[in-house]
Amino acid sequence: MDVSFILDALNDKQREAVAAPLQNSLVLAGAGSGKTRVLVHRIAWLMHAYEISPYSLMAVTFTNKAAREMQGRIEQLVGVPPQGMWVGTFHGIAHRLLRAHWRDAGLKENFQIMDSDDQQRLVKRIMREMNIDETRWPPKQVCWFINAQKDEGRRAAHVPDSHDPFSRGMREMYYHYEEACEKNGLLDFGELLLRAHELMLTTPALLKHYQQRFVHVLVDEFQDTNTIQYAWLRLMVGETGTITAVGDDDQSIYGWRGAKIENIQNLSKHFKDLHTIRLEQNYRSTGHILKAANGLISNNDDRLGKELWTDSGEGEPISVYAGFNEQDEARFIIEIIKKWRDDGTALKDMAILYRSNAQSRVIEEVLVREQIAYRIYGGHRFYDRLEIKNALAYARLAIDPNDDGAMERVINVPTRGIGERSIGTIREMARDQGCSMWQAADQIVTHGLLPARAANAIKGFMQLIQGMAGTLQNPDLGLGDIFDQIIAEAGLIPYHEKEKGEKGEARVENLKELVNAASGFNWLETDEEFSSPMMAFLDQAVLDAGEAQADEYQDSVQLMTLHSAKGLEFPLVFLAGVEENLFPSRMSFEEPGRLEEERRLCYVGITRAMQKLYITYAESRRLYGSESFNSPSRFIREIPQECLEEVRLRSQVARPVSMQRPDYSATLQRQNQNILQGHTVPDTNVSMGDRVKHPIFGEGLVVNYEGQGPQARVQVNFDDAGTKWLVLSFAKLEVL
């Protein structure tokens, strides 16, 4: 069989990697140079040129999505699916091993996997049993500690004893946690890896079997493997197998989760005769995009060093847009998206990338308003997030205490001593009497149907909700203030603050962002049928969470954090919120090495773009509940200036003089009054009867105006595009 076609669409270096003899090799190369492509072709080559059965191959990818894609691409290349081949993530493959050999692994046959929420619940239960103070040892931090130990391959017994009572406590809880997991057949994510490693170590016959079976192991995104993953790989490959690892030290972005860049350097020590191949041609991006990425990353020390080039031409420069606030930034992005869409680009070919999950809300709102389908990867949509749903559930209970769903959700969040037993009793009683859980709880409290401690805890909760109902009635409070108080009274901020790591911080940020969203909620715009702004807000949140999400097959704009964008590519990419303190994040200034990791993250972001990249930032931003004025990110300065082009508004219509919100709307109101009176509006020069030009709709006549404040709109009768309402503060109208 002639298999040379497998090498056809490859350059010399790629061909060398693909057609190499069975040996240990490392492909070390920058973004978009074809590393993943090499892996796919290498698998096809091994199967067809060397006639290695797919059964003898294992490929490790970074996500399950990448695994499916890889299988699809192999099938496309050689016409048959690689049957029997193991393709998956480290966790996925470890899980498979443990299911197959549960007995050898010392597991129950029906062992269960816990996600991080389950894990935390279990930790809490254990802490309660041990009578441990949650304020001193926040459960989230305990989970963090346990996971970090497991990533390093340490069981509780391996954690060095310490005189420091805090570390002692942690170690103690790890012991008890292990015991509880063992007893109940529960495995957390870290345990999958650790247990799979131990399985191989303790069962030599099994190890030998797999070492003989897997003739060749291939690993994508190798730079982000952690200690236990690396150790497991070494075992599986053993003396007889060989490995192909592909990676890019400049794209190592999971150091904060235990990934070890050093694993790349160690490869040559642990895998004999390692053959290293470097790829330097980039096939993904235009010259400008690539030059920007190269320039940026050259600011990092400690690189293995490589330079990428492309022969695809310079392309357009990178556009940098300074929004005057986050709303303006979102609007700008969506305007460009509409332009590309109208020019025939599919929505799925456009991606909006951001540093922090909380940034998505403003962008989502504009997308919903403009009825553009979108999809969020690797993270929940804003109103779908656990902490947001909890806060909303409190508000719902305050409006209607008989809302059982809301009651179930938050009765013991944060933990307030209402255990599963109490909740079970309430539930049963409600069922028996056909009443709501609230009413059942009320009876339990008044008739003393539960032990005093439990009854008191329930009573406390009911008083809390009644207090919130009072807050809701206070006519002096705006919607934002109400949420601020509800969140404070419920104790949600300290509850999440106690969680260590990015997730806890993100949750606190999201809660503050909710207050923000509520303050900015425009009650005037919504239908009259709602009895209160709160009702209108809650309904909109539910709709936002449920309906607008495009299904997997619908053409939709792709939204994701920079971390989830690894390995992907899109013709049009936006990097949003490229500001100091946000990206690089404020936290990265404190820990050594973190700033360089942020820069690598920016490198990952830039190199996702194929044709065109937009970098946007906002001069003022309301995020996490407060307004900040950040300067443009240092990363923008680090990009060679000749690659950049600043987007300027052709005419800065209604640009507020001050960035402060109150002044902002006052300014706009003044401007509107002037329009009404037929005067020329200061700053903008737009008045009724003017002929204006819009960058997309062309020329037209200003015929009407409506609304006040940031929502002020003008109606323009365009010569070609017909009559349109435009938001005065954002439409780029030029007066002719």
Q: Which residues bind Mg ion (CB under 5 A)?
A: 35-36, 567
Q: Which helix (DSSP H) or strand (DSSP E) does residue 20 occupy?
A: none
Annotated binding-site residue? 29:
yes
Q: Which is nearer to ligand ATP, 29 or 237 (CB)?
A: 29
Minimum CB separation of residue 39 from Mg ion in Å reads 8
- Catalytic-residue membership of 409: no
For residue 309, state whether it binds ligand ATP (rule: CB under 6 A): no
Of 24-32, 73-81, 392-400, 579-587: span binding ligand ATP (CB under 6 A): 24-32
Which of Mg ion, ligand ATP, none interacts with 31 (beta carbon under 5 to 8 A by kind)? ligand ATP
Q: How far is CA 358 from CA 490, 560, 646, in A?
A: 21, 11, 26
Of 4-12, 81-89, 302-310, 423-431: span binding ligand ATP (CB under 6 A): 4-12
Number of CB atoms found within 10 A of residue 259's CB: 22
Minimum CB separation of residue 246 from ligand ATP in Å reads 7
Nearest Cα residue to 234 out of 148, 145, 113, 153:
153
Integer Cα distance of 689 and 715 in angstroms: 11
DSSP annotation of 526 reads: S
* Catalytic pick among 151, 188, 198, 220: 220
Minimum CB separation of residue 293 from ligand ATP in Å reads 11
Angle at 54 between CA 208 and CA 236, to 5 degrees: 30
Q: What is the CA radius of gyration of the chain?
A: 29
Which of Mg ion, ligand ATP, none interacts with 544 (beta carbon under 5 to 8 A by kind)? none
Integer Cα distance of 247 and 222 in angstroms: 5
Integer Cα distance of 468 and 400 in angstroms: 11
For residue 349, state whether it binds ligand ATP (rule: CB under 6 A): no
Q: Which is nearer to Mg ion, 35 or 507 (CB)?
A: 35
| Contact with ligand ATP (CB under 6 A) among 24, 25, 36, 359 | 36
Q: Which is nearer to ligand ATP, 14 or 510 (CB)?
A: 14
* Catalytic pick among 13, 35, 124, 566: 35
Annotated binding-site residue? 150:
no
* Catalytic pick among 141, 223, 225, 251: 251
Annotated binding-site residue? 503:
no
Nearest Cα residue to 367 out of 338, 387, 396:
338
x/- map, 212-251, ligand ATP, by CB under 6 A: ------------------------------------x--x
- Catalytic-residue membership of 371: no
* Catalytic pick among 14, 36, 227, 286: 36
The sign of the torsion formed by the CA atoms of 281, 284, 289, 295 equals negative
- Catalytic-residue membership of 221: yes
Nearest Cα residue to 126 out of 89, 173, 171, 84:
173
- Catalytic-residue membership of 35: yes
Number of CB atoms found within 10 A of residue 174's CB: 23
Q: Which is nearer to ligand ATP, 14 or 242 (CB)?
A: 14
* Residue list 523-582, contact with ligand ATP (CB under 6 A): 567, 569
Annotated binding-site residue? 518:
no
Which of ligand ATP, Mg ion, none interacts with 390 (beta carbon under 5 to 8 A by kind)? none
For residue 34, state whether it binds ligand ATP (rule: CB under 6 A): yes
Q: Which is nearer to ligand ATP, 7 or 535 (CB)?
A: 7
Integer Cα distance of 181 and 188 in angstroms: 9
Instruction: Name the residue number minimizing CB distance to Mg ion.
Output: 36
Annotated binding-site residue? 612:
no
Q: Which is nearer to ligand ATP, 34 or 315 (CB)?
A: 34
- Catalytic-residue membership of 251: yes
CB 35 within 8 A of CB 279: yes
Integer Cα distance of 688 and 681 in angstroms: 10
Minimum CB separation of residue 16 from ligand ATP in Å reads 12
Q: How far is CA 494 from CA 138, 175, 248, 497, in A?
A: 10, 27, 39, 5
- Catalytic-residue membership of 128: no
For residue 37, state whether it binds ligand ATP (rule: CB under 6 A): yes
| Biggest alpha carbon–alpha carbon distance for the chain | 89
Annotated binding-site residue? 616:
no
Integer Cα distance of 125 and 556 in angstroms: 42
Q: Can the peptide bond before residue 584 be classed as cis, meaning omega within 30 degrees of 0? A: yes
The 3-state DSSP class for residue 24 equals coil
CB 252 within 8 A of CB 596: no
Integer Cα distance of 728 and 710 in angstroms: 8
* Catalytic pick among 396, 600, 608, 713: 608
For residue 284, state whether it binds ligand ATP (rule: CB under 6 A): yes
For residue 10, state whether it binds ligand ATP (rule: CB under 6 A): yes
Minimum CB separation of residue 28 from Mg ion in Å reads 13
Q: Which is nearer to Mg ion, 43 or 407 (CB)?
A: 43
For residue 13, state whether it binds ligand ATP (rule: CB under 6 A): no
Q: Which is nearer to ligand ATP, 29 or 490 (CB)?
A: 29
What contacts 301, CB < 8 A, 6 or more positions away?
Answer: 596
CB 583 within 8 A of CB 633: yes
Minimum CB separation of residue 349 from ligand ATP in Å reads 12
Annotated binding-site residue? 30:
yes
For residue 17, state whether it binds ligand ATP (rule: CB under 6 A): no
Q: Which is nearer to ligand ATP, 18 or 418 (CB)?
A: 18
CB 611 within 8 A of CB 388: no
Q: Show the DSSP H helices in 411-451 as ranges.
A: 420-433, 437-446
Q: Which helix (DSSP H) or strand (DSSP E) does residue 152 occupy?
A: none
Q: Show the DSSP H helices in 60-215 as ranges.
A: 64-78, 90-100, 116-130, 139-151, 165-184, 189-202, 204-213
Of 33-41, 270-278, 345-353, 429-437: span binding ligand ATP (CB under 6 A): 33-41
Long-range contacts of 126-132 (CB under 8 A, 24+ apart): 126/173, 126/176, 126/177, 126/180, 127/173, 129/176, 130/172, 130/173, 130/176, 132/169, 132/173
Q: Which is nearer to Mg ion, 36 or 310 (CB)?
A: 36
Which of ligand ATP, Mg ion, none interacts with 37 (beta carbon under 5 to 8 A by kind)? ligand ATP
For residue 357, state whether it binds ligand ATP (rule: CB under 6 A): no
CB 534 within 8 A of CB 645: no
Minimum CB separation of residue 588 from ligand ATP in Å reads 22
Annotated binding-site residue? 208:
no
* Catalytic pick among 221, 248, 249, 544: 221
| Contact with ligand ATP (CB under 6 A) among 55, 256, 283, 309 | 283
Of 34-42, 294-302, 443-451, 578-586: span binding ligand ATP (CB under 6 A): 34-42
Query: Crossing angle, helix 116-130 and helix 139-151, to 10 degrees?
Result: 110
Which of Mg ion, ligand ATP, none interacts with 597 (beta carbon under 5 to 8 A by kind)? none
What contacts 214, CB < 8 A, 6 or more positions away?
Answer: 56, 57, 58, 86, 236, 237, 241
Q: Which is nearer to ligand ATP, 256 or 283 (CB)?
A: 283
Annotated binding site for ATP: 29-36
Residues in the site for ligand ATP, rule: CB under 6 A? 9-11, 14, 29, 31-37, 248, 251, 283-284, 567, 569, 607
Active site residue ranges: 35-36, 220-221, 251, 608
Going by the annotation, the residues of the binding site are 29-36
